[in-house]
Structure 1
Amino acid sequence: MQWLELTVQTHPEAVESVSELLSGYSRDGVVIEEPYELSDDGQEYRILVNQPVQVHAYLPIDGTEEEKKQEIARGLWHFTSMGAHFVGELHSRVVDEEDWANAWKDYYHVTHIGQRLVIRPSWREYTPKDNEVVLTLDPGMAFGTGVHPTTRMCLERVEQLVQPGMRIMDVGTGSGILALAAAKLGAAHIDAIDNSSVAVESTRANTEMNDLQEQIDVVLGVLDETEAKKKADHYDLVFANIIAHIIGSIAPELAQVVAPHGLLVVSGIIEARRPDAEGPLLAAGLELVEETRIDDWLALTYRKRA
């Protein structure tokens, strides 16, 4: 299959807005490429903060891609009111899915997160130290590699909060990275859900690669009222690393599936959009117990009252 790759360079503060625009046209999500520098002979890296970020979206070549490209370009034009340096020009190229996957291997390296977690692409060699927990991850075209601040903060919360035997839901699982980490840290069962077929395929492949099929169920769909009723009060811990207004739109459903005294961790939220998520979550009967921050990105942890 061929894809039209759309790329725009943005200021870090505009990443969420640009990602939200592009994801409205790209059914399989967006890829956020942050600048980094390599170390350890190219096996590890660190993110260069406050530097321009590349956001990529992929449209299937089906006869509608040029019209969508023009609509996206018009949408980006409105962001110029933020300042010329905030959003750059829209660039495009046609890529094969296989060629895309191979080219992107150059961007992924061994990543250390928190005290114990290590993300290892399958093509990189790594020998774990002490009590490190290694996740083998091939992101494919799904978002979630541990690079973006929101994913990093969620992984840190996974490490801090997951206890053996827990029941967990991962809403908007992307590559499945949070579900994989939870399973490796001893969760009894994880339901991973995403509305992107590419994300679901990626999560299933990563689950098999880590031999975690018995702990992780991957579902194509959305967390709607029907699904929430079926799973009401079921999960000790729920993750939703999406974007602020979507979190707000499904806040009642997120609250419903969390068990009494259970926790909900939400991220994908930039400070300016915090009210879009927080207002509905508080209205759904959740209370904020902790927040973490990297630059302007937030991860918020809520507890469900009994």
Structure 2
Amino acid sequence: MEKYLILIKKFDNLNEAAYEVIIDQLYDLGVEGVEIKTPWTQKELDEVNGDYFDIENNADETIINAYITEETFLINKASIDRLIGDYEISGVEEESKWLLAYQKYFNIMKPGKRFVIVPAWMEYEPKENELIIKIDPSIAFGTGSHPTTKNVLLLMEEMDFIGKKVVDVGAGSGILSYGASLLGAKDILVIDNDLDAIKVSKENLTHIECIEYKINDLLDGIDNKFDIIIANIVADVIVLLSDYLEVNLSSGGVFLVSGIIENKWPIVFQKILSKGLVLEKMIKEQDWVTAKFIKE
């Protein structure tokens, strides 16, 4: 059994775009899993009045926990030292333990007015009109805490999903597909090019009958038209996905996009406009943009 190490790095002042770059470089150096704990903003705390956040454990700094085998760490230690400087090291004897370690950072959250995201290992008694998304993200992206996911859910709450055909491109944990089903979508296609992500989605959505899963590169080879296309991925991939809108998005359909770093928003915006869509709403939080487009 391989021995894993946890590299614990704390930052006093680090914006989201900066730590995303650091995480990408850590993966290049052999890190196999990353957990991020960031301080909740005063706005978030004010909105929920402590009902959904564990306020006592609110960090006053950004903490990155990186999981790496001891062998890989020793090979790449010099490069890791140069990248993140001073850090703490903790040992984990079994792979299964680090795969479960993220659980302590994943708490009950209410990103908007209706959706409540509940970890699969926790119990929660819903209040009136709340919609419960109960998931275990495992190694896939999507817990609802990141602005990209949270703001898609905010826009979804305002939309009519009843009877709609939906495709979730780059579905990750399946959290957005889960939300679409709760809002009344009739048919949902879950797409990811990562087999592990599809497995996680299936585990989270196993109780939902209207969902189909497909390992695919964007919408290649798919001729179906959808009322709603959701893509919480990255700007460059959204630009590529926009080329499918003429074939795959119904007239009057909605294109929900997120995962866009602010400095790439103009490129994404112009590309989608060139496909005959109009911007209906845009949310900017920190360095991230989420937007809703309509096909005229």
Range into which the TM-score falls when normalised by the shorter chain:
0.7 to 0.9
* TM-fit CA distance, 1:191: 0.7
Corresponding residue to 1:216 among 189, 211, 215: 211
| Partner Cα separation in structure 1 for residue 75 and residue 294 of structure 2 | 41
1:171-195: CA deviation from partner (whole Å, max 9, x where unpaired) = 1111100000110111101111112
Corresponding residue to 1:143 among 141, 144, 152: 141
| Partner Cα separation in structure 1 for residue 26 and residue 237 of structure 2 | 15
1:194-248: CA deviation from partner (whole Å, max 9, x where unpaired) = 122221111110012xx11x11222222215433xx23xx111111111112212
Aligned match of 2:204: 206
1:87-119: CA deviation from partner (whole Å, max 9, x where unpaired) = 766888776442123322211221112111111
1:41-87: CA deviation from partner (whole Å, max 9, x where unpaired) = 9963469999654456667x7x9x5699589859x85xxxxxxxxx7
SS in 1 for 2:221: helix
1:238-295: CA deviation from partner (whole Å, max 9, x where unpaired) = 1111111221233212554211110111111121221342232223332212101222
Matched, 1:245 2:236: yes
User: Contact 1:255 / 1:304 at 8 angstroms: preserved in 2?
Assistant: no
Matched, 1:34 2:25: no
Aligned match of 2:254: 263
Residue range with higher mean Cα deviation, 244-253 or 262-271: 244-253
Alignment of 1:166-205 (within 5 A): 166-205=164-203
Aligned match of 1:126: 124
Do the aligned partners of residues 191 and 220 (structure 1) sit closer, same or farther apart at CA in structure 2, a change above 3 Å counting? same
Corresponding residue to 2:276 among 273, 285, 296: 285
Residue range with higher mean Cα deviation, 273-282 or 234-243: 273-282
Percentage of pairs with the same residue: 31
| Partner Cα separation in structure 2 for residue 26 and residue 236 of structure 1 | 40
* TM-fit CA distance, 1:35: 3.2
Runs of at least 5 residues in structure 1 that lack an aligned partner in the other structure: 78-86
Structure with greater Cα Rg: 2
User: Contact 1:16 / 1:270 at 8 angstroms: preserved in 2?
Assistant: no
* TM-fit CA distance, 1:128: 0.7
Do the aligned partners of residues 40 and 283 (structure 1) sit closer, same or farther apart at CA in structure 2, a change above 3 Å counting? closer
Query: TM-score, normalised on structure 2?
Result: 0.79
| Partner Cα separation in structure 2 for residue 220 and residue 94 of structure 1 | 35
| Partner Cα separation in structure 2 for residue 6 and residue 288 of structure 1 | 42
Query: TM-score, normalised on structure 1?
Result: 0.77
Q: CA RMSD in A?
A: 3.8
Matched residue type, 2:226: Y
| Partner Cα separation in structure 2 for residue 25 and residue 257 of structure 1 | 38
1:127-150: CA deviation from partner (whole Å, max 9, x where unpaired) = 111111111111111110011111
| Partner Cα separation in structure 1 for residue 88 and residue 246 of structure 2 | 40
Matched residue type, 1:35: P
